[in-house]
């Protein structure tokens, strides 16, 4: 009785797959790749030129906090990718970036270039002794 139960449980765990080769689509001929129009370079957002790189030790000493990290690849010029990176930092209210990995593809100037940074928010430098009490 237990042997029969074991055989039934063993067989019930099997799945049956049927491959229907008659219903496959015929192979399609390859079409030539159409050249896409080049995209215009990204426009820098207001204040994106103020987003600068810094190292992680300086960020910790300056009291910066990590907001997010971003990683992407870009086909196009490396500087256009940097503009996209700085625009992303501005959009999430970051004012510093700690580079983790930046790779410029020099073999093919059109990319793909790789960007990976931590986006930080650092306190603004205080003015010390420049205002009068009055």
- CA pair distance 15, 25, nearest whole angstrom: 26
User: Residues 122-126: what's their mean pLDDT?
Assistant: 79
Q: What are the phi and psi torsion angles at 52 (to 5°)?
A: -125, 165
- CA pair distance 60, 64, nearest whole angstrom: 6
* Averaged confidence pLDDT in the chain: 81
Domains and CATH numbers, the chain: 45-123 (3.30.1660.10)
Global pTM value: 0.65
What local confidence, expressed as pLDDT, does residue 123 receive?
Answer: 92
Do the beta carbons of residue 115 and residue 102 sit within 8 Å?
yes
What local confidence, expressed as pLDDT, does residue 87 receive?
Answer: 96
| pLDDT for 16 beyond 60 | no
Residue with tokens 């080049």: 38
């Amino acid at each position: 009785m237990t042997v029969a139960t074991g055989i039934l449980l063993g067989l019930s765990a099997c799945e049956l797959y049927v491959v229907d080769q008659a219903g496959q689509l015929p192979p399609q001929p390859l079409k030539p790749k159409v050249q896409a129009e080049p995209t215009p370079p990204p426009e820098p957002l207001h204040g994106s030129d103020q987003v600068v790189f810094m190292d992680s030790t300086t960020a910790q000493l300056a009291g910066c906090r990590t907001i997010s990290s971003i990683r992407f690849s870009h086909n196009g010029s490396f500087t256009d990718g940097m503009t996209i990176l700085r625009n992303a930092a501005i959009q999430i209210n970051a004012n510093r970036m700690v580079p983790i990995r930046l790779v410029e593809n020099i073999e093919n100037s059109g990319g793909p270039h790789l960007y990976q940074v931590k986006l930080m928010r650092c306190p603004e430098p205080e003015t010390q002794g420049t205002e009068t009490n009055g």
